[in-house]
Amino acid sequence: MVMMAAPASAEGRLWLTGGGAFRDHQQLAGDVVVLRVGGTPQSIAPWSVHLSGAYFFNSFLGLAFEGRGELFYATQAGTRPVPQPAFELTPAATARWVPLHWLSLEGQLGWSFQLRSGIQGGPSERDVFFTGPSFGAAVGLTPSPAFGAQLFFRAQPVNVVLGTAGAQAGAFSGGAQFRLGALRLGIVQLGVAVSLEVSSARLVAAESGATQLGVRGGVGLALSRVVEERDVLLEPVEGAKVSLTGLAITSEGASLAGVVVTLDGENPVSTDDRGAFTFAAVTTGPHVLRARKDGYQAALLEVNVTATPAPVTLTLLVPTGPGRLRGVVRSAEGVISGASLSVGEQKAVSDEQGRFFLDAVGPGPVKVQVKAADFQDAEEVAQVPPEAEATLDFTLVAKAAEVRATLRGLIRAKSGEAVKATVRVVELKLKLPVKPDGRFSADVPSGKYTLIIEARGYLTQTKTVEVSDGDQAIFHAELEKTR
């Protein structure tokens, strides 16, 4: 079940505006205009009222009504002004569709009653009353609580003219209403209303007729009854697919770029410069996220994805625990089984293939000692990464062989990473190769030697050592960067 808030919707509305109107009246004999009143500033009505409203029983069906009234004064040369009233009343049933929370579409079907004032000789007043079916449509726009608008159109194409046999009338109108402001008074919302409308009517009777064109505008009030927002429980759609977003960070809260994240072991994605990642089209339900990056412990997180999932956070920790060491013990003739190896309290024995394994050693540089029958003892330094594995091989020298001294060492930066360095033995004019992991080794005659350790971007170190036959001199050098 998902809890969501239903948007507020207008259950009822009422617009009331008042202002002025402009009318152009023409009377016809056949197709000839025999009398025209209006079309000038003198045909502006000082009184015009427009009342419209609707009430909806549910989201789709309701009742609507329109009411208009206005008063003109027709004037011809040498005559006194003659009042020309007009009104319209239209009740209707309405159907509404709300495809978006800010958009509504309405269709209306009702019956219209209209009074139009004609002109007869002088001018004098002649009222024309007609009635007939009304068809309407409206588009409602509510982009914000403080602003609303309605565009409308209404037509009465076929009407019965009461009191004039054989006469027919038709009327059309359309315009817009705007609401500004959203003052809440209990369940009612109050705003300022502005309206603008154009209307047209035509009367045809025997060989005569009349047409009227009107433009109305007004300002007033807009009232609406609003249903309060409420929480609705929605059942999740089976197999619904949503987007799952997240962030990869360190234990200190810093974002991590380049982290490989998988969803249920598949579809790997990499985090961007902000440490963010996204999985599209994820089905709702339980899932497992895994994250990995070199130099960090792998992270695992079980999540239950809902229809509106919250962003997740994966925290990767820097490994700090001991690592592992494995390798092979051999001689010039082949592998050596049964060799004893030790790192502090940790012990191991090489198997028939000369392989050994030491668990829980380090992290950092560790000294490994190896002993085997009929072979000289040996020592070596290995750099063991935290919670990872390092490799170290030994080549032992038989005791009966000619014994020379051994120079061994490990070159690293002070921060712990391997450094591309060179080691020169000055007295022998010998440059010793340094392996990618920083280790070097050389057999030399007994004597006193000066070793110069160099690396680009680091301070040079010089060491002096004196060795005898069979001795081993072991160096662990940590270089500092130049400033």
Q: In degrees, to the nearest 5, what angle opens at C-alpha 7 toward C-alphas 304 and 310?
A: 20
**pLDDT number for residue 400:** 64
Band the pLDDT of 46: cuts 50, 70, 90: low
Q: Using the CB atoms, write b or e for 100-124: b if 16+ within 10 Å.
A: eeeebebebebebbbbbbbbeeebe
Q: Give yes or no for residue 81 having a pLDDT over 70.
A: no
Q: Give yes or no for residue 411 having a pLDDT over 70.
A: yes
Band the pLDDT of 387: cuts 50, 70, 90: confident
Of residues 389 and 166, the one with the higher pLDDT is: 389
In order of start, what are the domains of the chain with their CATH numbers?
Answer: 2-231 (2.40.128.100), 238-316 (2.60.40.1120), 319-401 (2.60.40.1120), 402-483 (2.60.40.1120)
Of residues 33 and 252, the one with the higher pLDDT is: 252
Q: Give yes or no for residue 430 having a pLDDT over 50.
A: yes
**For 378-416, what is the HEC assignment?**
EEEEEEECCCCEEECCEECCECCCCCCEEEEEEEEECCC
Q: Give yes or no for residue 393 having a pLDDT over 50.
A: yes
- CA 476/CA 220 separation, integer angstroms: 91
- CA 385/CA 259 separation, integer angstroms: 20
Over range 320-340, report the average pLDDT: 91
- CA 396/CA 248 separation, integer angstroms: 48
Rounded to 5 degrees, φ, ψ at 345 are -85, -10
Question: 270 Cβ partners below 8 Å, 6+ apart?
Answer: 258, 259, 260, 261, 277
**pLDDT number for residue 325:** 92
Amino acid at position 76, single letter: Q
Q: How many CA atoms within 13 Å lie on the side-chain side of 80? A: 2
Over range 454-474, report the average pLDDT: 87
pLDDT in tens, 255-286: 999 999 999 998 899 999 999 999 998 999 99
Report CA-CA distances (Å) from 204 to 169, 171, 433. Answer: 6, 12, 113
Q: Give yes or no for residue 74 having a pLDDT over 80.
A: no
Q: List the 405-413 sheet strands across, edge first.
A: 439-444, 405-413, 472-479
Amino acid at position 204, single letter: V
Over range 56-70, report the average pLDDT: 87
Most confident of 137-146, 167-176, 186-195, 252-261: 252-261
Report CA-CA distances (Å) from 412 to 205, 419, 437. Answer: 110, 6, 8
**pLDDT number for residue 119:** 56
Task: Please report which helix (H) or strand (E) contains residue 106, including its range.
Answer: strand 103-119
Over range 310-334, report the average pLDDT: 90
- Regarding beta strands 389-391 and 323-330, do their DSSP bridges make them parallel or antiparallel, or are they unpaired? parallel
pLDDT in tens, 202-219: 877 766 777 888 888 889
End-to-end, the C-alpha distance of the chain in Å comes to 62
Evaluate the CA torsion angle 85, 91, 94, 100 in order and state its sign. Answer: positive
Average pLDDT of the chain is 82
pTM for the predicted model, two decimal places:
0.45
- Locate 364 and state its tokens: 């950092």
Band the pLDDT of 5: cuts 50, 70, 90: very low
Q: Give yes or no for residue 253 having a pLDDT over 70.
A: yes
Band the pLDDT of 437: cuts 50, 70, 90: confident
Gyration radius of the chain's alpha carbons: 48
Q: Give yes or no for residue 76 having a pLDDT over 80.
A: no
**pLDDT number for residue 38:** 56
Report CA-CA distances (Å) from 318 to 83, 253, 386, 448. Answer: 92, 13, 9, 43
3-state class of 123 per DSSP? Answer: coil
Over range 447-464, report the average pLDDT: 90
Over range 453-467, report the average pLDDT: 90
CB 65 within 8 A of CB 52: yes
**pLDDT number for residue 29:** 67
Q: Give yes or no for residue 194 having a pLDDT over 80.
A: yes
Band the pLDDT of 392: cuts 50, 70, 90: very high
Of residues 239 and 179, the one with the higher pLDDT is: 179
Over range 298-308, report the average pLDDT: 90
Band the pLDDT of 364: cuts 50, 70, 90: confident
3-state class of 43 per DSSP? Answer: helix
Q: Give yes or no for residue 144 having a pLDDT over 70.
A: yes
3-state class of 42 per DSSP? Answer: helix
DSSP per residue over 279-334, as a string? EEEEESEEEEEEEE-TTS--EEEEEEE-SSPPPEEEEEPPP-S-EEEEEEEE-SSS
- Locate 268 and state its tokens: 């790997």
